[in-house]
Amino acid sequence: MATKVRYQTRAAKTPPFDAIIGEYLRTGGRPYIHICWMVHNHCNHRCSYCDKANWGGDHPWPTLESAKRFFEQVFRHYHDRKVVVSLTGGEPTLWPDFRSLVDWLHERKISLGMTSNGTMGAKYFAEISPKLDWLSLSFHPQFTNPEPFLETVLASSASPHLTVRLMMPPERRLWNRSMDFSKKIRQSSRLNRSISVEHVPIVDGFGSTNTKPVQYEADQSQEFARTSITVGPETPKPIQSPISNIFAGFAGPPKAYADYDLNQLVADGAANFFGWRCEIGREQLFIDSSGHILRAGCRVGGGVGHLNDADIQFPTAGIRCNKTFCHCVTDVIVTKASPRWDLIDAIHNKHDRIAVFRVLNSYGRFLTAHAQARLSRALDETHRLIKTTLPPRLYYTIRDGFRILRRPLKHLRSRASS
Ligand code: SF4
Ligand code: SF4
């Protein structure tokens, strides 16, 4: 088993823009709600950059009935939005009912995609890929066997957007394995269609609330300058995946927007949206491997409900970000704007008192978020100290006592955030 590695980290930087515009706002298309479901936490791999929370297997399988009931509620509440579903894990295909859920969603014409480590092999993915609008197959250099993985990629060509995500840990031996596969797939003469190949930076604290960018050597950072490559024949052209570039820019003056490469932004550690207004909860929901429903994988804003709940109170407004690193690409693409955006709005509408009030309100919340983040870091540090000082038995007794006390508070908080 690979042991968990703590990487050297660096502070996150401010992004080179002050708002991210959702695709539907840019094109005038239909708004969407993206449901990102971490179906369970069972995995046949034990990657050193992955938290045990993602592969420990300590959560029971979900039931197909509760999944269907949850999606029925989503269809009702977000009836004016297009429903987009991403299934991930652990390794999602290990759930015995996984294919039944895919069939059920496919019958309802839901836009559906998934991420997998490809373990189930070529035959499985040849059968399932026609039902997937996008498919991301992840190459994990400690565990993935390159030959069968390549066969799986070749067999998955029915999915309109196929992406190979190469995980890039900074350790040279692992980095080189991923780079070798990158060359192999680029040189393969057996590709009958174009696919995307992404070099994915790993993050420290993946699966926790305290994620940080990892430090790479200079040559490795340069390699990330071309994180996304299209390989294979130029026709037919791949259909743009819902998660690729972002459209971001400045409110001006002058107004300026451009496309930004998502993985590059994360690799540069420039995904710091601390204090921004973020539309998670309206554009995105995340279900963790124990069935808890959150606004997003970043866990900002706390819980919304549970997969087994018969009456979920879904959020109706966005939230103020209190994290300094937004590492997950599905979180980064959500519409968000810095307090400066509000300020510019107000300057252009200087007779509008409501706009001025919005700016004051916005900066007030921004400062509160700062204070909250400092407090939360101090609490994390105190928690760590207590854990290392107390005998384990005493520590776990106290911790379990706190968890029981926190339940009613959590319930109140999730009702307040909706
Ligand atoms: S394959 Fe994915 S879920 Fe499994 S251990 Fe590796 S990173 Fe974690
Ligand atoms: S960390 Fe969460 S709240 Fe902050 S910008 Fe990212 S998705 Fe939004």
Which domains does the chain show, CATH number per domain? 19-306 (3.20.20), 339-417 (no CATH)
Q: Is the pLDDT of residue 238 over 90?
A: no
Distance separating the N- and C-terminal Cα atoms of the chain? 42
**CB contact set of 205 (below 8 Å; sequence gap of 6+):** 51, 211, 212
Share above pLDDT 90 across residues of the chain, in percent, rounded to a whole number: 42
Q: Is the pLDDT of residue 243 over 70?
A: no
* Cβ(140) – ligand 1 distance below 6 Å: yes
Could you tell which of 265, 286, 294, 323 is best to mutate to test the pocket of ligand 2, judged by most ligand atoms within 8 Å of the CB?
A: 323
Question: What is the residue with the minimal CA distance to atom 2 of ligand 2?
Answer: 298
**Would you give the distance in Å from CA 279 to the centre of its chain?**
14
Cβ–Cβ under 8 Å, residues 38 and 289 = yes
Lowest mean pLDDT of 121-130, 146-155, 298-307, 385-394, name the range.
385-394
Q: What is the pLDDT, as a whole number, of residue 84?
A: 93
373 Cα–ligand 1 center, Å? 28
Lowest mean pLDDT of 40-49, 103-112, 210-219, 288-297, name the range.
210-219
pLDDT in tens, 180-221: 999 999 888 888 888 889 888 888 877 666 677 788 898 888
* Cβ(43) – ligand 1 distance below 6 Å: yes
Question: What is the residue with the minimal CA distance to atom 5 of ligand 2?
Answer: 273
Q: Is the pLDDT of residue 102 over 90?
A: yes
Averaged pLDDT for residues 363-383: 71
Cβ–Cβ under 8 Å, residues 180 and 197 = no
* Cβ(45) – ligand 1 distance below 6 Å: yes
321 Cα–ligand 2 center, Å? 5
What is the DSSP secondary-structure string of 9-27?
B-PPPPPSSSEEE-HHHHH
Q: Is the pLDDT of residue 418 over 50?
A: no
Q: Is the pLDDT of residue 166 over 90?
A: yes
Cβ–Cβ under 8 Å, residues 280 and 202 = no
Question: What is the residue with the minimal CA distance to atom 1 of ligand 1?
Answer: 45
Q: Is the pLDDT of residue 134 over 70?
A: yes
25 Cα–ligand 1 center, Å? 34
The DSSP secondary-structure symbol of 227 reads: -
pLDDT band at 417 (very low <50, low <70, confident <90, very high): very low
Q: What is the dihedral of CA 143, 146, 147, 153, to 10 degrees?
A: 100
> In a 10 Å sphere around its CB, with 0-12 CB exposed, 13-18 middle and 19+ buried, how is residue 59 labelled?
middle
Q: What is the pLDDT, as a whole number, of residue 255?
A: 73
* Cβ(90) – ligand 1 distance below 6 Å: yes
Q: Is the pLDDT of residue 113 over 50?
A: yes
Tokens 């309206």 locate to 282
272 Cα–ligand 2 center, Å? 9
Residue 82, beta-bridge partner list: 32
pLDDT in tens, 265-311: 877 778 888 888 899 999 999 999 999 999 999 989 889 999 999 99
**Kind plus residue range of the DSSP H or E element containing 403:** helix 392-417
What tokens were used for 151?
Answer: 């066969």
What tokens were used for 356?
Answer: 């001025």
CA distances from 179 to 4, 70, 166, 167, 370 (A): 22, 40, 8, 10, 39
**Best CA proximity match to 306, nearest among 286, 322, 326:** 286
CB burial readout 276-307, b (16+ within 10 A) else e: bbbbbbbbbbbbbbebbbbbbbbbbbebbbbb
258 Cα–ligand 1 center, Å? 33
Q: What is the dihedral of CA 152, 155, 160, 165, to 10 degrees?
A: 20
What tokens were used for 379?
Answer: 């609490």
Residues with CB under 6 A from ligand 2: 273, 276, 278, 280, 296, 298, 300, 321, 323, 326, 331, 334, 336
When the pLDDT of each residue in the chain is averaged and rounded to a whole number, the result is: 84
Could you tell which of 5, 46, 47, 120 is best to mutate to test the pocket of ligand 1, judged by most ligand atoms within 8 Å of the CB?
A: 47
